[in-house]
Structure formats: structure tokens, C-alpha cells
Amino acid sequence: MSAPSRRPGWDKQAVNAIAKEQYGGLAAMFAAHGWNTDGRVISQIAPTKVKDNYGSVEAFVLAHRDGASENPILDPMAAIRSDPPEVWLTSLYGFTTESWGFFGFTEERMRTAFINKSRPGALVVVYAAGGAPAELRGKVLGVQQISHRTGLKWDFLAPERMDAERADADRRDKWLYAIQLLRGWRVPFECRPNVEQFAPETYKHANARAIGSMGLRLTKGEAEGLLNLTLIEIPVYGGGAVEMQLPSAASIVLSPSRPGPVSQRPHLTREAEGPKHLYILGLDGNADHFLGYPSDQKAIVKVGFSVSPQTRCDAHNGSLPACAFKWSVRYSTYLNNRTPFPSSRHALAGEAAMKDALRESGKSLGGEFFLADHQSIERAWMLGLRAAERWTDA
């Protein structure tokens, strides 16, 4: 579609034209985005919905430049397929889209330059900058999807972070010029590559300042390398609900979903086949109170396997209310600095051995949960490792 005219009513005309040409009408366009009419006439509310999710009608037109199927907001994979790719690299001190719902720039001209170079729905890969905790520095932390909706960081920052941000003289005026995020995906900490490995052409020390201040576009090969990451979708402040997910390949996780704050349905994924870590989680807290009967100084544990034991642990903690109990990773092949087992079948054999041992020397609490003493838990762990190591197809 050609650039829209600025005659009165041009915005409504542009929206209606794209709805008709690329979706078959406004109702189909609303359905594709998961929008509702809020009880208003659909033709009247359409420009408002567009601006709320894309940032402007101009951004909406730009996102549909190559047709609805190549709109990155509706399908993040379109950002990778785009030529040049709509995949960028930046650095941050952390990755907390749950409370930091924007991509920020310290100078307005930098934000303007980025918007002029990018399309709505572009993906921004984030690695940990030098100011991050030592164990994170240089690691790829996650991926953000941006709209072209602009504001100040205070518009897209969670209330619980505002006081600390305003009180910190070094941070108060940094990242002030914001672009709202649409979605976010975290790389589990067990799976985080170094940025030098992930983006060997774009990441160079000479580029570090430009990467951190305004972002640099990845090459086509580097953008396609994003599909090799393991990701888990996480909430974005101001966005739609996201159910606790399992880590999976980016090619599965970066699939079409309802964008932005009007999201109606969470995007669900299953953990894909591939290398797996064994783990044992332990429940921290008074076991007697949790069980409702004496534990005899034994511990409550859960055994299992996953590409990311820490993510599984976080998922179990996410299902608990704020209380005196918390799961932690007691044993894992990752913590032992071991490579994961080659397949879920290897890990399943290890999990089965741990279950058998804990049923014999402890007490089953149902499923993968057990009550056992430390010696029994350690023995079960060693038996699980041995069984996984010895598993074969024969």
C-alpha cells in the first residue's frame, strides 16, 4: 500500500483499506488481533485499537507493508524472515519485562532513529551489559518484541519500581524515551550463550556503545541463529496474561499469538524433545506445618528432568501464594557442571530410578513428590545419574 494521504479522515481510510485488502474486512482483522469492540461500532473503534497496539496508523501501515502474513506483530517469525531482518541487538543490566515494559533510549533522537529504521513487531535480543551481575555479563538474556507506541519510561514502568528509579540519580534520566514492548521471552539461565558466540559479526567491542545506546541490526545469519535459542515466554508489564510456560525451541515459542495489552488467550507451549538435565527440588520451610503431621526431620522433594531445572523450580514457586515455603534446586546435572543427557529417554530412565529409590527408602507424596531423609535423597540422585548414563535403545 502506498503512503497514506494526510487529508481529513486519512487514518480511518488507511485502516479500512488494509482491513479489506489483507483480512477481508474489519471483523476479520479484529479477530486476527484478538480485539473486541468494547460495545462500540467497529468502524469507529478501529483507529483507536490500531494506535493502542501499533503506536500510530503510520506504524500500522508499515507493519502491513508485506501483507498480513508478514506482519511481525502477528507472527514474530516474520521479523526473522524479513529482508533485512527485523532483529536487533542491545544490552541491558537485566531482563525484567514483567516490570520494565519498554525499550528505552536516553536521547529522544536515538529513539526516533530506531523507529525510522525498524518496523513495529521487530525483535530485540538482549544481552547483559558490563554493569550487570558478574555471572550474567555477556550472556544472552532474552528477546523483546516492540511496538512503535512511544512515551516516557514512567508510562511503561511498573509502580513498584518507580520510587527506586526516581530516587537513583544515576538512573533517573536514563532510558527516558520509551517504546512500549508487546511480548517478551527469557533464555533459561542454563541455556544462555555468550553474545560473542550468538552474534559474532555484529558484536564487537568497538560496537558496544552503539549497541547499548540505540541497538544494531543483526545480520541475516545471526537473526536466523535466534531459532537455536531455548526460550520461555514471560509477561510484559502492561501486556496480556501469560501462563507459566515450559522452555522450548525458539522456532516453537516464537509463534503467532494475540499481541499487546488486548491479548485474550495465553500462548501455550510444551517442552520440546532434546537434551535434558536431571534435577531434585527441595521445599524450604517447616515440613511439619506443610504436611499437617510430623515429618521426622525429613525433607519434601520433587524429582524430574527438564532443559532448565531452574525454570521448573520457578514454575512451582509461581503456583504458591506468598508464604513461608519455597522450592529450590537441591541437585541438578547443570549445577554439577555436567552436560545434559542426550534425550528425554535417558533422563526418563534417571527419573524412574530416583522414584523407585525414594519409594523404597522414603514416602511417596504422590506423583514426583516424596518425603525422605538426606541420605536417601543423595542415594536416589546417584542412582538416577547412573540409570540415565546407562540407558540405551537396546
Measured CA to CA, the distance from residue 116 to residue 87 in angstroms comes to 14
Measured CA to CA, the distance from residue 376 to residue 391 in angstroms comes to 22
> What pTM was estimated for this model as a whole?
0.75
CB 315 within 8 A of CB 389: no
Pairing of strands 326-332, 277-284: antiparallel
Residue 312 in grid coordinates: 521448573
Residue 123 burial class via C-beta count within 10 angstroms: exposed 0-12, middle 13-18, buried 19 and up: buried
Q: What is the largest CA-CA distance in the chain?
A: 79
Give SS3 for 263. Answer: coil
β-sheet bridge partners, residue 139: 194
**What are the CB-based long-range contacts (under 8 Å, 24+) for 30-34?**
32/68, 32/74, 33/74, 33/258, 33/259, 33/260, 33/262, 34/258, 34/259, 34/262, 34/263, 34/264, 34/265
Measured CA to CA, the distance from residue 94 to residue 105 in angstroms comes to 15
Residue of 101, 98, 78 whose CA lies nearest to 147? 101
Q: Would you give per-residue pLDDT tens digits along the chain (394 residues)?
A: 455 556 777 888 999 999 999 999 999 999 888 888 878 899 888 998 999 889 999 999 999 999 999 999 999 999 999 999 999 999 999 899 999 999 999 999 999 999 999 999 999 999 998 888 888 999 999 999 999 999 999 999 999 899 999 999 888 888 999 999 999 999 998 999 999 999 999 998 788 888 988 899 999 999 999 999 999 998 899 887 676 667 888 988 887 754 433 333 334 445 566 788 999 999 999 999 999 999 999 999 999 888 888 888 888 888 888 889 999 999 999 998 899 998 888 988 999 899 999 999 999 998 889 999 999 999 999 999 999 999 886 5
**pLDDT tens, residue by residue, 136-184:** 999 999 999 999 999 999 999 999 899 999 999 888 888 999 999 999 9
Pairing of strands 177-186, 102-105: antiparallel
CB 195 within 8 A of CB 203: yes
CB 16 within 8 A of CB 25: no
**pLDDT tens, residue by residue, 77-92:** 999 999 999 999 999 9
Say how many C-beta atoms besides its own lie within 10 A of residue 10's C-beta.
Answer: 12
**What are the CB-based long-range contacts (under 8 Å, 24+) for 372-375?**
372/298, 372/299, 372/301, 373/297, 373/298, 373/299, 374/299
